[in-house]
Structure formats: structure tokens, C-alpha cells
Amino acid sequence: MDRRYIFIDGGSHFGQSIKWFERSAIFSQHPWEIFAFEANSALIPFISDRPYLAILNKAIWIYDGTVDFYLGEETDGSSILSCKRRGGLSRVPISVGCVNFGQWIKRNFSQRDYILVKFDIEGAEYKVLDWMLNDGTISYADGFFIEFHNSMVKVSVQRDIELIEKLKKLDIPCWILGRFSQLLKEVIIDEIDITFK
């Protein structure tokens, strides 16, 4: 079976990361399949359709089923974590579908495939990464782009560093995204050719 090239956009919002990825040098080197996870159904129509894109209106989480989801006043602030401090979360959650992310990868792909994952999942990244490290499904990923939401969910920057170090020990590169990870700039992050064309 041929190797597949997979980009998973966790917390797709309006699909900005997909557009960013499509402009990268690595995108032009392989036939990519893109999977966009977005739990806020109001945002799905804003993600531009493409022949190689599958949109999943679900939250990335640690089990299959449904989960409480707190909509934010702003479209980029919704979260499954009620304790999130920014984004003006509603006090009353809605129920959304969710997937055990590691097991979803295991069911849909093989370890031969090249899989890059972007997480901007508003604080859920900590439990999801821990779950994947514990059940071994982390080994399916070839790299992570992560926006850590440490201060917004009362997690220390040290916790981010610990997760990055665990990934590095498994030879899984991790690139830090977003304004809430500025304190991590002193951590040595691996490089990949993702330069814009």
C-alpha cells in the first residue's frame, strides 16, 4: 500500500491553517489529504471545500461520543473546558460530537503514513496528548504544530515544556504556534521545511 500524506487541522476555525499549509513548501512535494476538525458548527461553512479535504464537525478529545462544548463570544474562543479564562465562554454548554483522537488516527491510517497534526484546541491539548502518550497512538504522528493554552486553562509553561520533551524523546518534532506560547521560545524546537512559496 502506498504511503499517504496527511495533515490534520485540529481546531480549524475558518480554515486559516489549511491555507497556511497549502502555501508551504512541503505541501507541493506530496499529494496531501487534509482532515479539518471543527466542533463549532457555525464555522463549518467558512472552511473552503477542496477535493482533498474532509471536514469533521467534532471535537478532538479522549473518547468517542459527545462532550459539553462552551461557545465563546468570539468565534475563536470556544472550548470543551469550562475553566478556560478567555473567549467569553457561555455558561450553558451545548453537546457536540467528539472523537478519541488517537484511536481515530489508528483506525484511519497506518504507521507507514506521514501524518502532521495541528492542535489549536483551546486547552484540550493537554489531556489529548497525555492520552495518546499513554495508549501509544502518539507514534502515528510524524510532527505536531501546537498552540498551548497554558495560562488560559491554569496550566504552567513547565507543563508545555514537559510535553515537548516527551515528544522529542520519541523523535516526534513539535513546533509551537500562537501568542500564548511566547515563553516557550527558549525551548529548542525542531525545524522542518515549511517555508512559504
pLDDT (tens digit, 9 = 90+) per residue, 17-29?
999 999 988 999 9
141 found inside a domain: yes
Residue 186 has what DSSP assignment? G
Residue 35's domain spans which residues?
A: 5-58+110-186
Query: Residue 196: helix, strand or coil by DSSP?
Result: strand
Residues with Cβ < 8 Å from 10, sequence gap 6 or more?
37, 60, 101, 117, 118, 119, 120, 121
- Single out the residue of 91, 77, 64 nearest to residue 11, CA to CA: 77
Tell me the pairing of strands 174-176 and 114-119. unpaired
What is the number of structural domains in the chain? 1
Mean pLDDT over residues 182-189, rounded?
42
161 found inside a domain: yes
Mean pLDDT over residues 64-72, rounded?
91
Whether residue 180 is predicted with pLDDT greater than 80 in this model: the reply is no
Q: Which amino acid does the sequence have at 143?
A: G
- pTM confidence score: 0.88
CA pair distance 124, 164, nearest whole angstrom: 15
Whether residue 104 is predicted with pLDDT greater than 50 in this model: the reply is yes
pLDDT of residue 152: 73
Q: Starting at the edge strand that comes first in sequence, how are the strands of the sheet with 174-176 ordered?
A: 53-56, 32-37, 5-10, 114-119, 143-146, 174-176
146 found inside a domain: yes
pLDDT of residue 193: 42
Residues 163-173 have pLDDT tens digits of: 999 999 999 99
**% residues pLDDT > 90 (the chain):** 60
- Single out the residue of 91, 102, 81 nearest to residue 152, CA to CA: 81
Whether residue 10 is predicted with pLDDT greater than 60 in this model: the reply is yes
192 found inside a domain: no
Confirm if 16 and 23 have CB atoms less than 8 A apart: no
21 found inside a domain: yes
